Amino acid sequence: MIAAVLQGPKNIEVKQCEKPVPKANEVLIRLHSIGICGSDVHLYLGDRLLPEPNIIGHEGIGIIEQIGSQVTNLQVGQRVAIEPNVPCGDCRFCNNGKAKICPNKIVVGVNAAGCFSEYFAYDAEYCWPIPSSISDDDAVCIEPLAVVVHALKCTSAKPGASIAIFGLGAIGLLLTQLAIAKGYSVFAKDLVKDKEDFAVRLGAKLLPSEGLADFLYQNEIEAVYDCVGATKATNLILETAPRGSEVILVGLATEPTTFVPIRIAREGISILPSIIYDHPEDFRETIRLIESKTILPSNIISGRYPLEDFQEAIDLAASGKATKIIIDVNQ
């Protein structure tokens, strides 16, 4: 089969790899579409180093072609979406409802083979049947939308409150859509004007470039979402977050950031992490939201490429100009 293998920073090779054989608890999926995620870009740029070359990618959908001997909940021919994190189930975090931070979890495209490939074998428990009412374009966005579903749960701000979203890539735009659909008033900011225009069309208002701290306070912003993934932006957010607000870290900045502890303490500012999602409830809710047409995430897709042109596709994703790039295989 053909797959995109990350050999090292900025070194992708699309080449022939061995077709996987499913284990007893696994299914073999003939992939159709895979989204390029911001974390794939971080791996590609070398912000995070893999111990050895690996097929990257984790936002995959496809058709089950073969099932393992122990699989009873899925069938050949079903269309499924991949939930790409499998916790160990035995550590103290898994045993206390914190499986998303399991230190032993299998992460597709990081410490296990990814899905920028023609075929993918995976644990059947973490393959989600896609209802026929959901299009392929919406289905390939299930995983990033699940990240957003979880992120919105992290704030104590209730619908009707005002929130700010910094960074309007795929996650920021999906968060904008979901928050507005749930009744929040959203203020947004990005360095790319086209992305800001997109957010405005969704119903968001724009944050100013000057006087940001006063603006956030005067507009009673209760939660500030960092969806940028760059330390400079995180520093700005921590400097300007208003009294009593929550700063939710969704972006994946890899360099140290700074803040003034006495200000954080005196002004009651909370810094909260949001990482992936809780299994199985967040994926289940995500699929329900799409099926009910509460949110149609495919509108963030800005380009499509065949697997053979993966290098061009990930370079575009790394430029920051695109919102969501999809890789199509077996078409």
CATH number of 2-144+277-328: 3.90.180.10
Angle between helices 142-153 and 170-181 (to 10 degrees): 60
pLDDT of residue 254: 87
Whole-angstrom distance, CA of residue 57 vs CA of residue 298? 18
Note whether 154 and 274 are within 8 A (CB).
yes
Kindly tell me if the per-residue pLDDT of 137 is higher than 80.
Answer: yes
CATH 3.40.50.720 is the classification of domain 155-273 = yes
Taking the CA atoms of the chain, what radius of gyration do you get in angstroms?
20
Question: What's this model's pTM, rounded to 2 decimal places?
Answer: 0.96
pLDDT in tens, 16-41: 999 999 999 999 999 999 999 999 99
Instruction: Indicate the DSSP class of residue 207.
Output: P
pLDDT in tens, 73-82: 999 999 999 9
pLDDT in tens, 241-300: 999 999 999 998 889 999 999 999 999 999 999 999 999 999 999 999 999 999 999 999
Helix, strand, coil percentages, rounded to 5, for the chain = 30, 25, 40
pLDDT of residue 330: 81
All CATH 3.90.180.10 domain ranges of the chain, comma separated, are 2-144+277-328
pLDDT of residue 206: 98
Kindly tell me if the per-residue pLDDT of 305 is higher than 80.
Answer: yes
* Residue 162, number of CB atoms within 10 A of its CB: 17
pLDDT of residue 75: 97
Kindly tell me if the per-residue pLDDT of 114 is higher than 80.
Answer: yes
